[in-house]
Amino acid sequence: MLDRASILKADDLKRRVVHVPQWGGDVTVRGLTGVERDAWEAWCIAKHEEWGGNVGPNIRASLLVRTIVDDKGERLFTDEDVIALGEKSGAVLAELHAVASRLSGITASDQEELAKN
């Protein structure tokens, strides 16, 4: 049986290197921590309300600024980069968003539920 210390020290964040030819190289995408996922979901709900029941702008970029990391696992982007990242190719953002969602355990039904809230 696992004990508290074993659970807390486990490196359980999945990572995946994704080749992005449109950007000329590779990026590392990692799954969200529990705290990060809660913050992202709160952001989505706030944007949903702000936009009168529609999904807020830059939903893909808002996840990616939290999940694209450097070699040390540190975020490359800040929350203030959401708009700028959202200006990149929609196809690239969709592909990376799909990877980030899988690594973070975010399902299509999770995203539908966020849109309802």
CATH superfamily of 14-116: Phage tail assembly chaperone gp13-like (3.30.2220.20)
Prediction pTM value = 0.85
pLDDT of the residue at 57? 67
Spell out the SS3 assignment of 41-105. Answer: HHHHHHHHHHCCCCCCCCHHHHHHHHHEECCCCCECCCHHHHHHHHCCCHHHHHHHHHHHHHHHC
pLDDT by residue for the chain (117 residues), tens only, comes to 999 999 999 999 999 999 999 999 999 999 999 999 999 988 888 877 776 655 566 889 999 999 999 999 999 999 999 999 999 999 999 999 999 999 999 987 766 676 665
* SS3 call for 29: strand
